[in-house]
Amino acid sequence: MATQPEYRGRFAPSPTGPLHMGSLLTAVASYLDARASSGTWLLRIEDIDPPREVPGAGDSILRSLEAHGLYWDETELYQSTRLEAYAEALDGLTECGEVFRCCCTRATLGPGGNCLKRCSPAPEDVTALRVSLLGNVGFDDKILGPQAPGLSANDLVLRRKDGLYAYALAVVVDDAWQSITDVVRGEDLLSQTFSQLELLAQLKAAQPSYAHVPIVCDASGVKLSKQAGATAIDDKAALANLRKALELLYQDSAQLPAGSTQELLELATSLWNPRALKAAKALVYP
Ligand code: GLU
């Protein structure tokens, strides 16, 4: 009988700002899921989009994770060191897949942001590289349950017009390279999972299982995000922050007495119950 591969999870923030309660919650959920399975938990800094990045944000994320006792295994991976691997993967997909050049602007793209190969770029035109996907892949989310096939866009950008590799390509190349078996991340990325599974299949890579945790919104229903200027978490209040994250994650451990982040994380690991999130709507903070 085939043995299950050892659990390997990851937290993969983009360094577009410091950790806020929403990203801390994702980090905690993926950490607990990995530790509860006696698995490996990796940290990957997704720094492939310099125009969106904030200087120093990567380091500040590392420091915040450590202040909260969220220690990762192995050396952290910076996607900016992986550009050759993305180029190689793109070459492979071009050889065997449906990669095509696209010079569309926002105004000329069709419904759903699709190009449908209607533009005919001249050889000298600056183009994006896209891949045509079928949208025939569904999956069973560990929190949300079965997800019927559905793509937000069939013509997925793999390399942007400005020459930068797209998140969609980098994330699957690295999930495959790092042998990630379990992805736990925010529900805002749920719609991306369909295309990522299809791309993984095109790359002939193993498919991880996915669990999407509800996103954290402020009282007016706006998703906490670095772009929207969400307040950075205060590393000096690490224990209280962890408790709040556990409370938002509907974990019984949030109420238990603990004198340190380490103690609380150990309790939270032993009581980790992702199914408690199944019925959760958007989580509200503060
Ligand atoms: N880097 C992405 C973000 O910060 C997350 C990627 C992922 O978990 O797949 O939103």
- For residue 216, the SS3 value is strand
Domain limits, the chain: 8-284
286 prior amide bond cis, ω within 30 = yes
Q: How far apart are CA 153 and CA 273, in angstroms?
A: 33
Closest ligand 1 atom, residue 188 Cα: 10
Mean pLDDT, residues 156-185 taken together:
97
Q: How far apart are CA 276 and CA 93, in angstroms?
A: 39
CA–centroid distance, 104 to ligand 1, in Å, is 26
What is the band of 283 on the pLDDT scale with cuts at 50, 70, 90? confident
pLDDT of residue 59: 98
DSSP 275: G
Q: Of the residues 16, 171, 180, 199, which should be mutated to test ligand 1's pocket, given the most ligand atoms within 8 Å of the CB?
A: 171
Q: Is the pLDDT of residue 153 over 80?
A: no
Q: Is the pLDDT of residue 285 over 90?
A: no
CA–centroid distance, 166 to ligand 1, in Å, is 12
**Residue carrying structure tokens 């569904």:** 138
Closest ligand 1 atom, residue 196 Cα: 9
**Highest CATH level, class, for 8-284:** alpha beta
Residue 2, beta-bridge partner list: none
CA–centroid distance, 17 to ligand 1, in Å, is 13
pLDDT of residue 115: 86
Closest ligand 1 atom, residue 46 Cα: 1
- CB distance 14 to ligand 1 below 6 Å: yes
Q: With 0.85 as the threshold, say if the pTM is over it.
A: yes
Mean pLDDT, residues 227-248 taken together:
93
Closest ligand 1 atom, residue 10 Cα: 8
Mean pLDDT, residues 80-103 taken together:
94
CA–centroid distance, 25 to ligand 1, in Å, is 13
Taking 3-state DSSP, the helix, strand and coil percentages for the chain, each rounded to the nearest 5, stand at 40, 15, 45
- CB distance 185 to ligand 1 below 6 Å: yes
Distances (CA, A) of 190 to 65, 78, 186, 228, 260: 24, 23, 7, 20, 33
- CB distance 46 to ligand 1 below 6 Å: yes
Q: Where are the alpha helices (DSSP H) in 77-213?
A: 83-96, 167-177, 190-202
**Residue carrying structure tokens 């005919």:** 120
Average pLDDT of the chain, as a whole number: 93
